[in-house]
Amino acid sequence: MNALSVQKVSKVYNKTVQALQDITLEIREGELFGLVGPDGAGKSTLFNILTTLLLPDGGDIQILGMDLIDDYKAVRQVIGYLPGTFSLYPDLSVKENLDFFAVMYKSDIEANMDLIRPIWRQIEPFSKRKAGKLSGGMKQKLALCCALIHRPRILFLDEPTTGVDPVSRKEFWEILQTIRTQGITVLVSTPYMDEATLCDRIALIQNGKILGIDTPDAIMKQFRGSLYTFRSADIFSLLNAMKQCPLRCNYYPYGEHCHIAFYEDMEKAMPQFLQFLEEQHQEHGEIKAIQPSIEDCFIEIVKMNSHE
């Protein structure tokens, strides 16, 4: 059964800004689904619609068999929402915030403690501290407890790791993995492409449109170019030189390496490329064929769309 079915949902702000355009996606029960895209892609607008806070202009949304708009009160009982901005009460203590959310949802903290215990254990030592005085990572953990305390069947997480350091990001994703073992469907958005591989399926979204929906593996298999990586002595000089390259390719820095996706017959193109590098006096390391990452796929899809 689908936990969530979104059909052709659109949203226009102020009659001019098309925030979402014909969004269609289905999320299965128990799935960890990632919405991957940059700021301004429309992720938060979609979250606000799915959590009954904003009306779409058109389209149809079913959540656990209920109509999102007609049954919005019932929908609110079965969803949990962690918004993109810190939305707890900074002047209430950690424990008071949790109590508050439990009371609002008429939920019993003790009865649901098994669900939140792994997370709660980490913030319990600070239970008397005001929520506003917690560090960023701790705030997120408290917000997650508050979003889970009524044992929702679907959890919405809007960019829970934006601006979060790599260690805390890793911890947060470990927590998400434990939540889904409880049978809770999770929809999470992120601008970090590496997090996409931790999801069952992902939707790549940009400018209010979905560019593709599939498992991370399947998306990586759809990569059309032949992808190569190498080191360069001076990557800035290399990127400048590449502007003159006669071959059909996308090139971009990728950490300490340069990635090049060729859209050519490589048997002919590679000798040409090597010759080009030599003519341009570009020193380089070994040029290796590699499998694309989700980030490579996102770049390819966006570049292809902008050329169409």
Partner 1 sequence: MNSIEVDHLTKKFGDFTAVNEISFQVKEGEIFGFLGANGAGKTTAIKMMSGLLQPTSGTAIVAGYDVVTQPKLIKRNIGYMSQRFSLYNDLTVFENMQLFGTIYKIPRKELKKRIMDSLAALDMTKQANLLVHSIPLGWKQKLAFATAILHKPKIVFLDEPTSGVDPIVRREFWNLIYETASTGVTILVTTHYMDEAEYCHRISIMADGNIRLLGTPEELKQQVGVNTINDVFVEYVKH
Q: Give the one residue of 55, 283, 303, 305 binding partner 1; rule: CB under 8 A.
A: 303
Q: For residues 259 and 227, is the Cβ–Cβ distance under 8 A?
A: yes
Q: Rule CB under 8 A: say whether 222 interacts with partner 1.
A: no
Q: Rule CB under 8 A: say whether 252 interacts with partner 1.
A: yes
Identity of the residue, 102 or 299, whose beta carbon is nearer to partner 1 in the bound complex: 299
Contacts of 295 (CB under 8 A, 6+ apart): 193, 194, 254
Alpha helices in the chain (DSSP H): 43-50, 72-78, 94-104, 109-123, 136-148, 166-180, 193-196, 216-221, 235-242, 266-279, 294-307
Identity of the residue, 75 or 260, whose beta carbon is nearer to partner 1 in the bound complex: 260
Q: Give the one residue of 53, 108, 133, 162 binding partner 1; rule: CB under 8 A.
A: 162
Q: Which of 45, 34, 60 is nearest to 157 (CA)?
A: 34
CA distances from 230 to 88, 175, 282, 287, 299 (A): 47, 36, 12, 5, 18
Tokens 């990569």, residue located: 223
For residue 300 the two structure tokens come to 């390819």
Q: Give the one residue of 19, 35, 37, 176 binding partner 1; rule: CB under 8 A.
A: 37
Q: Whole-number minimum distance, CB 249 to partner 1, in Å? A: 15
Q: Give the one residue of 30, 59, 191, 212 binding partner 1; rule: CB under 8 A.
A: 191
Q: For residues 210 and 284, is the Cβ–Cβ distance under 8 A?
A: no
Q: Rule CB under 8 A: say whether 212 interacts with partner 1.
A: no
Identity of the residue, 51 or 206, whose beta carbon is nearer to partner 1 in the bound complex: 206
Q: Give the one residue of 22, 108, 124, 165 binding partner 1; rule: CB under 8 A.
A: 165
Q: Whole-number minimum distance, CB 270 to partner 1, in Å? A: 24
Identity of the residue, 7 or 168, whose beta carbon is nearer to partner 1 in the bound complex: 168
Query: How many CA atoms lie less than 13 Å away from 160 in the CB half-sphere?
Result: 28
Q: Give the one residue of 72, 137, 264, 266 binding partner 1; rule: CB under 8 A.
A: 137
Q: For residues 294 and 196, is the Cβ–Cβ distance under 8 A?
A: yes
Q: Rule CB under 8 A: say whether 170 interacts with partner 1.
A: yes
CA pair distance 82, 148, nearest whole angstrom: 9
Q: Rule CB under 8 A: say whether 225 interacts with partner 1.
A: no
Which string of x and - marks every residue 261-300 that binds partner 1 (by CB under 8 A)?
----------------------------------x--xx-
Q: Rule CB under 8 A: say whether 171 interacts with partner 1.
A: yes
CA pair distance 83, 12, nearest whole angstrom: 21
Segment near partner 1 (CB under 8 A); pick from 75-83, 210-218, 234-242, 276-284: 234-242
DSSP class of 55: -
Q: Give the one residue of 254, 272, 276, 280 binding partner 1; rule: CB under 8 A.
A: 254
Answer positive or negative: Cα dihedral of 226, 231, 236, 240.
negative
Q: Rule CB under 8 A: say whether 224 interacts with partner 1.
A: no
Segment near partner 1 (CB under 8 A); pick from 46-54, 92-100, 129-137, 274-282: 129-137
Residues that bind partner 1 (CB under 8 A): 37-41, 135-137, 159, 162-171, 191-193, 206, 235-236, 239, 252-256, 295, 298-299, 302-303
